[in-house]
Chain A
Amino acid sequence: MHNLNDSQIDIISKKINEQCLKSFAFSDELLDHVCCRVEQLMENGSSFESALKQTSHLYQGNEIKKIKKNFKIIFNYSGYINSFFIYASLLFYLGSWIFHWGQTDWIGLVAYILISVLLFRYTLLFYSDNNLKFKKPLVILSTIGFILFFVGYLKRFLWLNYGFIGQNVMPLMLFSWLTISIAGLIYLKALFPEKRNRLLYLIGIMQVVLACLSLSTFIFPSTMHYIPIYATLIIFINILSFLILFVIKAKGKSFLKLIIVSSSFMVFLYTPNKAITSGNNYKVQFEVEAKEDVQYSKLYLYLNYYKYGKETLVLYKKTDSLYSSGVIKFSGGNLTMSYTVLKDSLNLYDVLHNSKIEKKELKLNQADTLFSLTYNSNFNP
């Protein structure tokens, strides 16, 4: 057997390194492999130069790309990355609830960021997969879903230092849910064009139905008092679907898991602030009278509905000493809340749990109420 000398090995090594393979997991084995092939060809009578030429296809860019792709498929890297994002976001969301009980905070924000990164990753995967059926609708729907989700959670979290704003956030999120769940069904159709995976389809269809059900609460306000029932139903179906996906082995289940997790986040986000109690729709407005002459253009009303949620309202200056909120719609009644009025936009959770800031209580027990509150600058932390 012909053995290559050190300078010949150097030449081959240099040729391989020219293909930028420094980070390549198989570089040592590729060098040995090419050397073996060259030695074998030389054994059969080829010159070193000729043997080198004949083996050059082994380390060309396209070949290396194929190897890397094969490596990723065999090791299912993509699946691991998806699972990492899903479980990490679940952990962060759980952490957010444990530490701040349903209130928005940076821990919850991380959970939403992780989910939106995964949504964006799927958009890119759909876009870059040239063999994917229904590529165009999948790219369009997942892009729309990602944008709506991204804008929705940014509005939700970054408004008034993690305060809550009801306007437009939930419709954005719920439309995002609808678009990605439709994309989920199309993706299943693309993955299983002939043989239907009934269980996966059922989970996918359920997500579309639940998204429509949630959206109906915006289109038909009279259905708003069913929100607690809807939320319970959604969480029950989502937990069941997630457990099924956890157990079964099937292509495309990561995307379904993503839809389930993101929709669960939306439900938890929506429910405490909207499902106050069943009953009529109330229109409420808050007016704040400043005791002293203050120069601020707006004040902030921090409200705590206890187990039903918390929110910050902006009060705009109407006259020299009077500030007013917009008209707020509630579904329900007999609601007790604590409040405080401050001049600064602060983290809502910190304000409501700061014992040094004085809080007062008020009760919402009748419809169409105008609450007249007072602002005392001594309350400011």
Chain B
Amino acid sequence: MIAKELFKGTIRTIVLQLLAKHHKMYGYEIMQTIEKKSDGKIKLTFGSLYPILHKLESEGLIYSETENIGKRVRKYYILTQKGVKEKDSKVLEIKEFINTLNQLLDSGGLIHA
């Protein structure tokens, strides 16, 4: 398991990236996909994911569609054009950050300091 503090700032980008690849997803599906793709190392909770989804929606980065499944309502989230742009820039930013971390950690910069 990866400590929450380490991936906290990246959840928004991870969600945007997933929605870019899967067109539309609902909350539980997003959680399961993240857990599966990270081999169980990143586990989100209901309380950490849904407020982020609502925040992204309020910022116009995603929008939602509802579907009735029997007696329950399922809310699907879909990326907007603004969301695609945000995703692209944030993914780049994170990749740069990972590269910097790799440089610092692998080249001995931090370990031998």
Contacts and interface: CB of A to CB of B under 8 A. Distances in A.
Interface string A9-23: 110010000000000
A32 B30 CA distance: 13
Which label, helix, strand, loop or mixed, suits the secondary structure of the A interface? helix
B47 interface: yes
B27 A33 contact: yes
Nearest to B52: A74
Contacts, number: 63
A36 B74 CA distance: 10
Contacts of B54: 25-26, 71, 74-75
Interface string B46-76: 1110111011001000000010011111110
A180 B58 CA distance: 35
A28 B75 contact: yes
A29 B75 contact: yes
Interface in A31-83: 31-33, 35-37, 58, 63, 66-67, 70-71, 73-75
Contacts of A67: 46-47, 50-51
Contact of A10 (B26, B29, B71, B75): B71
B50 A29 contact: yes
Contacts of B48: 70
A194 interface: no
B46 A33 contact: yes
B28 interface: yes
A58 B46 contact: yes
B75 A32 contact: yes
Which label, helix, strand, loop or mixed, suits the secondary structure of the B interface? helix
A4 interface: yes
Nearest to B69: A32
Contact of A32 (B47, B52, B73): B73
Given A25-B54, A75-B58, A32 B28 contact: yes
B47 A63 contact: yes
Nearest to A75: B55
A75 B59 CA distance: 10
A6 interface: yes
Given A29-B27, A32-B26, A32-B28, A74 B51 contact: yes
A66 B28 CA distance: 18
Contacts of B73: 28, 31-32
B28 A37 contact: yes
B27 A32 contact: yes
Contacts of B75: 28-29, 32
Given A67-B47, A67-B50, A70-B47, A32 B55 contact: no
Interface in B50-106: 50-52, 54-55, 58, 66, 69-75
Contacts of B26: 32
A71 B54 CA distance: 9
21 contacts: A6-B70, A10-B71, A26-B54, A29-B75, A32-B28, A32-B74, A36-B29, A37-B28, A58-B46, A63-B47, A66-B47, A70-B48, A70-B51, A71-B51, A71-B54, A74-B51, A74-B52, A74-B54, A74-B55, A75-B51, A75-B54
Given A28-B72, A28-B73, A33-B27, 18 more contacts: A3-B70, A4-B70, A6-B71, A9-B71, A25-B54, A26-B46, A26-B50, A28-B75, A32-B72, A33-B46, A66-B47, A67-B47, A67-B50, A70-B47, A71-B54, A74-B52, A74-B54, A75-B58
